[in-house]
Amino acid sequence: MKIMVALLIAIIGTSSCKKGKAEVTLKGIISDTSFGLPLSNATIVIHQIESGISDELIGQTTTNVNGEYSFLFDRDQTESYLITSSKSNYYDLNESISFSDITIENDNIYNFSTSAQSWVELNFINTAGQASDALKYIKQEGRSGCNNCCPDTQQSLNGIIDTTVIYANDGNAVFSYQYFVVGTSNQGLKSITTVAFDTTTINLVY
């Protein structure tokens, strides 16, 4: 009898030591917004993030034909998890999930989306102007928040120019800008749908 009691206490003690650590299922679907399809064959990586400590890789997988990914890992105490998605000619995903949002009772479902890369080439040509001419333009629609994206602020071009600017955009998505030549009635809106994986051109001659 004493042996059974001691064994029971040992089991309870072992279970107590493991409290707060259990297996977690985290899964979801990555969508391709450029074509309205699941994003297959994308590399999905998950890291455990803790302040002052190197990020710990806890899983890597590839989306299937339905864009699905799935991870099974131990729920260790941490600050957050970082999920990244990468595929050639698509914009990378970097998504943070708080530790407090992860549960062990149910599957954790996190669906994300990304788009194909494309570019818009803006050609500005002032053919019969003066050195004092000033053109202003500001983006109305288009991708934001990337290093090569068109700024959200007003842009200026001065003088007699023949110049080209290239910006990143989402594939099969609209890019547009409002423009006006200072001191004249020449103003308007330029708009185009940029082709996925390619560069689409907008010309403005003034």
Measure the CA–CA gap between 97 and 112, rounded to whole angstroms: 12
**Residue 150 identity (one-letter amino acid):** C
**Residue 79 identity (one-letter amino acid):** E
**Cross-strand bridge partners of residue 93:** 85
Fold of 117-205: Immunoglobulin-like (2.60.40)
Measure the CA–CA gap between 89 and 151, rounded to whole angstroms: 22
Structure tokens at 164: 């080209």
Share of the chain above pLDDT 90, in %: 86
Cβ contact 138:114 at 8 Å: no
Q: What is the pLDDT of residue 21?
A: 67
Cβ contact 167:149 at 8 Å: yes
Mean per-residue pLDDT, 155-183: 97
Share of the chain above pLDDT 70, in %: 90
Measure the CA–CA gap between 177 and 122, rounded to whole angstroms: 10
Measure the CA–CA gap between 189 and 206, rounded to whole angstroms: 13
- Using one digit for the tens of pLDDT, what is the confidence trace for 82-120? 999 999 999 999 999 999 999 999 999 999 999 999 999
CATH class of 22-114: mainly beta
- Domains of the chain by residue range: 22-114, 117-205
Measure the CA–CA gap between 200 and 166, rounded to whole angstroms: 10
Cβ contact 114:56 at 8 Å: no
Query: In CATH terms, are 22-114 and 117-205 the same topology?
Result: yes
Q: What is the pLDDT of residue 3?
A: 47
Q: Look at strands 23-32 and 68-74 and give their pairing.
A: antiparallel
Q: What is the pLDDT of residue 128?
A: 84
Structure tokens at 5: 């009691």
Q: What is the pLDDT of residue 4?
A: 46
- Does the structure show a pLDDT above 90 at 16? no
- Using one digit for the tens of pLDDT, what is the confidence trace for 148-165? 999 999 999 999 999 999
- Using one digit for the tens of pLDDT, what is the confidence trace for 33-63? 999 999 999 999 999 999 888 899 999 999 9
Measure the CA–CA gap between 163 and 147, rounded to whole angstroms: 20
Q: Looking at residue 52, what DSSP letter applies?
A: T
